[in-house]
């Protein structure tokens, strides 16, 4: 069986779906699958038509669309991919719930003719089935992984790096970090307010904001840099994955105030948990049980700062449910994700 992973975009565009597709291809190859990644600068009917002509008529080939991505543009070409009822077509719809209503409606073609549709969590699958209940048997959930390497030691064995007024193994005070996209609406604003409160309550804390500025010259980026300088927050922009992992392993607590709540689709949260950090975040109806059990809930910067202080002073346990955390992370390793995809392809 040959697997063709299809995506619009190119490397270096800060596209999480593109990075995900690269990781998935590598994991599938490591598991023994014959896989090829077809990446186009943008979507076009000509390119997708060529794929159908070359691969779509072969019964031993699966065409797997990763949607959307940075090269999506306004083209509706991917929606027409399964319209020719020959071959096996799979689509992973990342964040279907935030698609424009017209785009959601256009995926009727996949609900009717797609061989399988994959979602990263039950919430996204539920939103799709609310529109297309007749497609239930073809809708599957396969969790995402993280592009950041996991710490060498198991989470359950990791000792806290420091205490509220003590010194870590790296020779600095306890570290509190934000990691993720640095852009409006991603929780950065709430982290900065939390960090300002923490700076007053615990002056020795090492505060760190790490991620990629999506618009480096914007007024928001200037605001973030100025706020970090004002409150002594170390700002690390655009680090490669290996350096991100190294920084996370030196930290104690991550504060990630996702406005819509933590969910399985948050790769930055998975990276923090996999590297042994205790996570303070927002819970919502999108938060699955295993993440509710393994993270601390916050509602505002004030209570987030209080929770961080209690964690680092020993008043709260750093790992609230180690067994659930290990199980959840194991299911989201790239090997496990590749196995789930392999089983799905074999069933088509």
- Domain limits of the chain? 2-145+333-347, 155-330
Q: Does 53 score more than 80 pLDDT?
A: no
β-strands 253-256, 278-281: how paired?
Answer: parallel
E-state strands within the chain: 2-8, 34-40, 61-67, 88-93, 116-119, 139-141, 175-182, 206-213, 233-237, 253-256, 278-281, 296-297
CB 186 within 8 A of CB 221: no
The predicted model scores a pTM of 0.85
Strand partners for 233:
207
What are the CA-CA distances from residue 192 to residues 81, 187, 212, 233, 327 (Å)?
44, 9, 16, 9, 32
Query: Can you tell me the mean pLDDT for 278-286?
Result: 96
Q: Does 80 score more than 90 pLDDT?
A: no
Q: What is the mean pLDDT of the chain?
A: 88
Q: How confident is the model at residue 32 (pLDDT cuts 50, 70, 90)?
A: very high
Q: What is the pLDDT of residue 16?
A: 82
Q: What is the pLDDT of residue 165?
A: 46
Q: Which CATH number fits domain 2-145+333-347: 3.30.70.20, 3.40.50.880, 3.40.50.2000, 3.40.50.2020?
A: 3.40.50.2000
Q: Do domains 2-145+333-347 and 155-330 have the same CATH topology?
A: yes
Q: What is the pLDDT of residue 86?
A: 61
Query: Can you tell me the mean pLDDT for 210-239?
Result: 95
| Cβ neighbours around 217 below 10 Å, total | 7
Q: What is the pLDDT of residue 88?
A: 87
Q: Does 36 score more than 70 pLDDT?
A: yes
Query: Can you tell me the mean pLDDT for 2-18?
Result: 82
Q: Which CATH number fits domain 155-330: 3.40.50.200, 3.30.70.2740, 1.20.1260.10, 3.40.50.2000?
A: 3.40.50.2000
């Amino acid at each position: 069986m040959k697997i063709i992973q299809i995506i619009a975009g190119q490397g270096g565009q800060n596209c999480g779906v593109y990075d995900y597709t690269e990781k998935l291809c590598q994991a599938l190859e490591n598991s023994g699958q014959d896989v090829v990644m077809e990446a186009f600068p943008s979507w076009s009917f000509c390119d997708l038509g060529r794929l159908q002509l070359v691969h779509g008529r072969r019964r031993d080939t699966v065409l797997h669309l990763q949607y959307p991505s940075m090269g999506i543009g306004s083209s509706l070409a991917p929606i027409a991919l399964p319209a020719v009822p020959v071959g096996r077509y799979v689509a992973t719809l990342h964040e279907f719930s935030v698609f424009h209503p017209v785009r959601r409606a256009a995926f009727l073609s996949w609900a009717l003719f797609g061989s399988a549709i994959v979602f990263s969590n039950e919430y996204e699958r539920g939103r799709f089935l609310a529109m297309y209940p007749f497609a239930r048997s073809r809708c599957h959930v396969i969790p995402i992984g993280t592009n950041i390497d996991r710490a060498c030691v198991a989470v359950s064995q990791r000792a806290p790096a420091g205490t509220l007024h003590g010194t870590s193994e790296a020779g600095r005070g306890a570290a509190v970090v934000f990691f993720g996209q640095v852009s409006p609406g991603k929780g950065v604003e709430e982290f900065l307010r939390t960090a300002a409160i923490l700076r007053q309550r615990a002056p020795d804390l090492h505060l760190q904001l790490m991620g990629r500025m999506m618009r480096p010259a914007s007024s928001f980026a200037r605001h973030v840099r100025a706020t970090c300088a004002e409150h002594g927050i170390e700002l690390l922009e655009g680090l490669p994955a290996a350096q991100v992992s190294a920084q996370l392993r030196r930290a104690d607590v991550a504060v990630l105030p996702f406005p819509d709540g933590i969910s399985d689709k948050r790769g930055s949260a998975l990276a923090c948990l996999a590297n042994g950090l205790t996570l303070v975040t927002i819970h919502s109806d999108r938060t699955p049980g295993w993440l509710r059990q393994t993270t601390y809930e916050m509602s505002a910067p004030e209570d987030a700062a209080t929770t961080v202080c209690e964690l680092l002073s020993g008043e709260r346990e750093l790992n609230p449910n180690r067994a659930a955390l290990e199980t959840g992370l194991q299911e989201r390793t790239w090997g496990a994700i590749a196995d789930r995809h392999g089983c799905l392809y074999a069933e088509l």
